[in-house]
Structure 1
Amino acid sequence: MKRCKKEWNESRSRFLLTVAFLLCALIFANTTTVNAAVSQDGQYTYELDAAGHAVLTSYLGQDTEVAVPATMDGISVSALSGTYQNHNKITKVKIPAGITSVNETAFAGCYGISAFEVDPANQSLCSDGDGVLLSKDGTVCVRYPVGKHQSSGTYRIPASVVNIGGYAFEGYNTPGIEIPANVRVIGDYAFANTQNFNGVSVWEEGTQIIGTYAFYKCTNLRLLDKAALPASVNKLGVYAFAECSNIQIDISKSTITEIPDYLFYNCDNLHNLTLPVTVTTVGAYAFSDCNNLNEVIFDAALRQIKEGAFAKCGNLHTVNIPEGVTAIENNTFNGCQNLNTVVLPSTLKTIGDGAFAGCRNIHSINIPEGVTYISNTSFEGVDTSAIALNIKVQKTTLKSAKRKGKKLTIRWKKTEDAQGYVIYRSKKKNGGYKKVKTIKKAEICKCTQKVKKQKKNKKYYYKVKTYKVVLGKKYFSSFSNVKAVR
């Protein structure tokens, strides 16, 4: 197979990427099927697609070398759909000319296959000299024969490949791999469950999309130095690097705008990470259970950290949240038992349920004045004496104080973050005020009382304070304006 030139002009690049998507959609098509059946020889289950062709859905045999049948009970076979999934004993597969569609799970879990052979007359698929299953024009890598284990060495993806299909290298055992500039898309589960794979030794600029679970459980994955995630990468799928227990990775040069949910979930030996300057969002539980993560460097572009993003990061010590972030969501740092220094931005408004619960070693955290909500569980299990609260409570405006007969009614303006109000009275306008009533509901903005016997034409002065409760303690606003009643 001829290698593509190292430099692609822009129009050719777009054309090949489009072709790859179309071919991938064709090869991995979800075929509409009817009439499920077991083959007469008992070797397969199959269904009929809308055109009346057979789609093989499961293999019931035990052969180690498999020749995909061209016909099934007299019906031409056109597609494989999860057919050989988890048949570990299969070592070799021959594919006839009539197969036009191979579902991405057709050979998932088949870790013993050492070669694919495709009939040269097949118009949709082909195999190369390494026994790799490819689209006919070589732009889509459908499945690498992961059973051809090499204890040393590196495999370089062919220069024609634009799209690495879903599950294409699942279970890959050769120590290294090179991803050239021509690769644009890495599909879902493409390198999942690779126990002995030691990482990407060369990863050239060009890759744009990495799918969900793409490197899931790549135990020894390494992406450092020249093999750092390319700057061309602009999208990552959920769980893409989850449970890579010994991962070493540099994603700082990529152009992603979001760290997706569970991206590095349970990456036990991930120690530090610098996020790309383009990242605005850290997804839910993106770094949860990364027990040895001790530092994450955020850039000024960050605006949102979602629920549980750093939960149970037991060795995270210092967190510096940049300006622009408005919420620490539920359980964001829950269980970070060694977290000791936290710097919060002045833009912060809310601290959610369990946000810092169990962070028992916090010795420095300053709550900004703009924070309007802190849950009762936000700092559960934390010595709150270490928390410097700059709680600012908005004062209210006293609208009126009127007496009618033996009843006095005071009205004031509701404030945004109030949890209650306290009414004060004095015989002097500028001092001597004493508390006469506490209103414990924020929605109540008036107070009516019976007037006791008072001196005729004597003035009484009223004013109000707003309060809210944070971590079990009441915080009050300054006094409202004064209203007088004669």
Structure 2
Amino acid sequence: MKKLLLAFSALLGLVVCGSPLQAEAAMQAPTNSEPVSFYDKVIKMRFNVIDEDAATIAVAKRKTGDAGFLESLYYEGDIALPNKVEYNDKTYRVVAIADSAFYNCKDLTSITFNKGLETIGKNAFDFCTSLDDDIRLSGNIKEIGYLAFNNCVKLASINIGKQVTTIDDGAFAKTGCPVTLDADNPNFMQTDFIIFQPKEGRLIYIDPQATTLQMPANISIIGDYAAANCKKLETLNLHEGIKKIGYQAFVACYGLSSVELPASLEEIGEAAFKYTIRLQSIKIAEGNTHFKVENKALLTADGKQLLAYPTALQEDEVKIPEGVEVIGEGTFASTVIKKVTFPESLKEVGASAFHQCVNLTEVNLPDATKKIGTQAFALCEKIRKLHVGPNLEEIGKYCFFMDTALVQLYFNRKTPPYIPYTLMGCFSAESEKNGTLYVPFGALNAYKSNVEYNEFKNIVEHDFTSASLVQQDAPFAVSVANGELSIAVSAPSAITIFTLDGANVWQAVVNATETVSLPAGSYIIKSENSSKKVVVY
């Protein structure tokens, strides 16, 4: 209810600021690093001043107060960019489209570029899902920014003129339309299904109709989003000489079944193989010193970061190797796994790491975990139980969004982990209504007074001793009383106790029961085939 009231207040502010009594044009002073800008109400466009002396401006996104009463702040319909704009008795030339100027303008249907346009900024038309033009990047257009036309899914075609000198990564990502390059462009080349920059050796774009990837030998960089949504691509065997794979380079390549990486590869961007739902194997050429495969997972050579996993293996249970500190973005997204065993070394779960894992039922994060990323466990509709340790500092936006079965939440931290405010919140309404949030003794008021947790109807204090956390699926049992740890076995077993840093603090063969006195802290108890974590208070 509080979040809805805040949202209503924001809407009310928008309506009041959008008064029809605005002047024909108003200059807006910059705040912090924002450029000087003004709004022309006649043509209903905002402009950023690029260079006052040269009288050049860029089309910019509208701001609160620009639109009239109940008008949308987003540009709509058919837009034609002017060549010049008059303001305060001065004529300005329109030479650019600013970053994110038309971002998320879902009702924008066509755009006509002016003759003087030179630059299209990053994310300029990102998510303009109704834009259905034939885009001609001709005339004076020289620079196309990062993700400029990303997700413009209705575009009929894109043509890159001979005068274009700069194309940033992802400029045409997820458009799905044919992209052609004028043959006399001296800065880029097009062969078969790809467009690349020969001087940098950078692959920019792969046609979504490609089933295999054949690249010139001088390509060493696969840019961000280069093969995004190439659903027909089945195998990936990269040639020696490839040094870098960019962010989300092969995201949503649904047909990709195998990946072979060369010895020359030095860098792999986050989420490079996110949503490759048919991926069955990842191999690395002998001699690569930057990456390795362990337990089928693609890891950095030091084993600290998990980058990718063959998501099509149909495995019920996944055990993440000990030593992994970071699970990368989107690593297990949309897989069928039911159970994950996290290593005690884990410090961070990346954004969307387990997004839409619809069979996952429980999440038990180790004490070392400090951060859970945005949407990390969103749309995991069967998760019922969550346990986080005392070192968790931050939970990302929408982390447990639509996890309607999540009713047991154990937060072993006295200070509520930080959650960035969002209108929809981090947890589902069902969790807040039907679930129970367990918190340490003395932390009840801290959680009840926190806006991201106080919507829970049931917040109760809980005894987070080792006895309450013991896992009974191992071949030995553990309990704690008065600072002493008791180990019971059904048959003689070699037992070792480690600190979370890996230091061996006790070792013996236990025949029946054994009592060990230990300082307060967290420990790992291991037998030959099993292990469990305990906390001594």
- Report the TM-score range of the alignment, normalised by the length of the smaller protein: 0.3 to 0.5
- Normalised by the length of structure 2, the TM-score is 0.42
- Normalised by the length of structure 1, the TM-score is 0.46
Higher relative contact order structure (alpha carbons within 8 Å, sequence separation ≥ 6):
1
For the pair shown, the structure with the greater C-alpha radius of gyration is: 1
